Amino acid sequence: MARILFLGDVMGRPGRLALKTHLPEILAAFSPDLVIANAENAAGGAGISPKPLNELKGLGIDVFTSGNHVWDNREAYPLLEAEPFLLRPANYPPGVPGRGVVVRSLGEGGAKTERSELCHGQIGVINLQGRVFMREIDCPFRAADMEIETLNDSGVKVILVDFHAEATSEKEAMGRYLDGRVTAVIGTHTHVQTADGRVLPGGTAYLSDAGMCGPTGGVIGVKAESVVGRFLNALPFRAEPAEGPVALRGCVVDFDEKTGRALAIETVNREDDDG
Ligand SMILES: [Fe+2]
Ligand SMILES: [Fe+2]
């Protein structure tokens, strides 16, 4: 058995604080063989840049996925080219900087555990982005087919998909479409954790949304007054992270590293006492 810890969208400095506060205890409690986090909001709530990325690496996160907001910080463009373990969704059109898939050995990253010494299987991580209520990029379903085939051809059987999407229907459809072909389909982007984690009949762990590592006092991590104001007057606003208590949200997936079949999925939540 091997285990992945997946952390939902890291929202700016408060998100990084949530990880600094709670991740050491979670690593000790769950002993994951690989830690993945969605970093699309890690720099100031919008995009990613070298400093927060290095900070997150230092906390023991091995692979970073992202999504639509990764482009909000210009520093992300060269970073996506330079950092092999920082992904952007694979279904952006050809020519876009970065890559949407990476293969990493379980247990070789920063979150080394006792079990990691025994577990040297490979895992493929695929990042995809939905198209419902989002920009019309290439088809995530067909992109998944292509990437899974390439990974399988190179002998990789353990595959985790971060499906960064708005609509639960599109996410569930992806889960069903990939059931039996990947180890896990984990949703991100809404910043609100769902309670539907389960292993589908074909052996794929599924969760519509992992939730957010970030402040609990705003609206999906953003200052409440800005978001409420936008609904009232429809004017543009700066999406600054909210202040106050923070929470860490994510999930743990157990699987058979020889077959890639998921055995269990459970959500992980840690928050400040008044969060
Ligand atoms: Fe996000
Ligand atoms: Fe997003």
Neighbours of ion ligand 2 (CB under 5 A): 67-69, 189
205/161 Cα distance (integer angstroms):
10
Residue 28, pLDDT above cutoff 80: yes
Tell me the pLDDT of the chain averaged across its residues.
94
Q: What is the pLDDT of residue 271?
A: 93
Q: What is the mean pLDDT of residues 224-239?
A: 90
How many angstroms does the Cα of residue 190 sit away from the middle of ligand 1?
A: 7
Considering only residues 59 and 239, tell me which one the structure prediction assigns the higher pLDDT.
59
* DSSP secondary structure of 199-225: E-TTS-EEES---EEEESSSBTTB-HH
Q: What is the mean pLDDT of residues 119-145?
A: 93
Ligand number with the minimum distance to the CA of 43: 1
How many angstroms does the Cα of residue 42 sit away from the middle of ligand 1?
A: 9
Residue 117, pLDDT above cutoff 70: no
Residue 261, pLDDT above cutoff 60: yes
Token pair belonging to 273: 């006492």
* DSSP secondary structure of the chain: -EEEEEE-EE-HHHHHHHHHHHHHHHHHHH--SEEEEE-TTTTTTSS--HHHHHHHHHTT--EEE--GGGGGSTTHHHHHHH-TTB---TTSPTT-SS-SEEEEETT-SS---TGGGG---EEEEEEEE--TTS---S-HHHHHHHHHHHHHHTT--EEEEEEE-S-HHHHHHHHHHHBTTBSEEEEESS-S--S--EE-TTS-EEES---EEEESSSBTTB-HHHHHHHHHH------PBP-S-EEEEEEEEEE-TTT--EEEEEEEEEE-TT-
179/205 Cα distance (integer angstroms):
8
Q: What is the pLDDT of residue 274?
A: 56
How many angstroms does the Cα of residue 183 sit away from the middle of ligand 2?
A: 22
Ligand number with the minimum distance to the CA of 127: 2
Q: What is the mean pLDDT of residues 209-217?
A: 97
How many angstroms does the Cα of residue 146 sit away from the middle of ligand 1?
A: 25
pLDDT band at 272 (very low <50, low <70, confident <90, very high): confident
pLDDT band at 169 (very low <50, low <70, confident <90, very high): very high
The rounded percent of the chain whose pLDDT value lies above 70 is 94
Q: What is the pLDDT of residue 275?
A: 46
How many angstroms does the Cα of residue 191 sit away from the middle of ligand 1?
A: 6
> Which residue carries 């971060």 as its tokens?
162
94/221 Cα distance (integer angstroms):
32
Token pair belonging to 86: 């920082």
Residue 127, pLDDT above cutoff 70: yes
Token pair belonging to 71: 């482009």
How many angstroms does the Cα of residue 33 sit away from the middle of ligand 2?
A: 26
Residue 53, pLDDT above cutoff 80: yes
CB 207 within 8 A of CB 187: yes
CB 98 within 8 A of CB 120: no
What's the angle, vertex CA 193, arms to CA 188 and CA 194, rounded to 5?
100
How many angstroms does the Cα of residue 27 sit away from the middle of ligand 2?
A: 25
Residue 111, pLDDT above cutoff 80: no
CB 43 within 8 A of CB 71: no
> Domains of the chain by range and CATH?
2-271 (3.60.21.10)
Q: Give phi and psi for 143, each to the nearest 5.
A: -65, -40
How many angstroms does the Cα of residue 96 sit away from the middle of ligand 2?
A: 17
Which residues are identified as catalytic?
69
